[in-house]
Structure 1
Amino acid sequence: MNKNIFLDKVGSTELTVYQLILVFSPLVAIIVAFTSRSSVPPVYNTVFAFLGFIVSVVWIYVIANELVSLLKAIGVIFGLTDAILGLTVLAWGNSIGDLIADTAMARRGQPRTGFSACFGGPLFNLLLGIGLPFTIEILRGGGAPIPLQFNVMTLSLSMGLGSSLLFSFILLPCIKFTANKTYGSFLFVMYIVFLAICIIIEFSIL
């Protein structure tokens, strides 16, 4: 019985990855040490770029999982739903980098780049960040659909996003795609109203 438990632990995915890292990391370090010089880049220098990209993706994946788990713990402690946490804490933390980068691009005289990133970044996250994980989950489940909870909060989130996009879709051609202060003020007011409605629904104030 103890032997079977030991074999199950050894055959687990987590332990296998741990063993591979312990075995191959020293080997790779030795190969790099004997085949490279500090003054001349090695022949396989471009491989490091791809490895660095893969490692960065893995780190982002691990940190994102830890943040989501932390948000769930906060939600359990304070009795908050996943929707309101995603709307506030997670959304603010995810967008603060875009805010700083887009503002810096606009102040450097490249407002079109920053304006494009405002829509391109969330669009990329929406299509790839939702499409890829859901596709993987559907393949794991044998093609079974993924159930989603539909309630008043979900409807409010969808209506808020849809109304904001529809507002930009109608107004931008009318002002000849000139993002002025009036347009930004309207979007800011819409977000405040939308956030207030969601908070009212979450805590059942009315």
Structure 2
Amino acid sequence: MQKNRDEEYDYLYKIVLVGEAAVGKTHLLSRYIKGTLPKNPTSTIGVEFATRTVTLESGGTVKAQIWDTAGQERYRAITSAHYRRAVGALLVYDITNEKTFHAAKRWMEELRDHAEPDIVIMLVGNKVDLCNNKSEVRKVTTLEGEAFAKQNNLLFEETSAVTVIRVREAFENLLQAINSVKVRNGNAGQSMDKGGKLVANRDIDKQSSSCC
């Protein structure tokens, strides 16, 4: 059976979206995957995920398995279990809510405790559209975000899911950085199967081409 275009990839990377509730994680994922915002936005219950295949600027094709996790405390045990095998994360905060920024340290520590040892984390300040006409609503400056990211060896972006500012760049710069780390560490030829187990890419090819 011929593989669909979306099934043709060199690497499969698991990414998680984390951060406090209502910072816009689901909106960012929907905008990136579907090009639209959720029609009936509600708080994520537990964990949801989507996939997208991306061609890297450096060469090669990545299938991103992106997990959107709930920010509420009552789902913490469920979501932290899904950090397993994650090689990348978007750690999202709301630039108009400094409490969500202060919580970023705790989310970062959870990721580093439960995900892969070489996980690549991008700090994302979301909702920049709210500051376009009312600069006073911004509670976390770009410099503060950049400083926290630099101090903790994180990538950094500011985005808006509403006006599509830097959304694609956030996801795909993260994927590129993950691939660079994997190449540098000599394990870019490994990925995950559907059960979350590390396998060689040649084994993934066999799985993808097998019938039904």
| TM-score bin, normalised by smaller chain | under 0.3
Which structure dedicates a bigger proportion of its chain to helix?
1
Q: Which structure has the higher relative contact order (CA within 8 Å, separation 6+)? A: 2
Which structure dedicates a bigger proportion of its chain to strand?
2
Q: Normalised by the size of structure 2, how large is the TM-score? A: 0.25
Q: Normalised by the size of structure 1, how large is the TM-score? A: 0.25
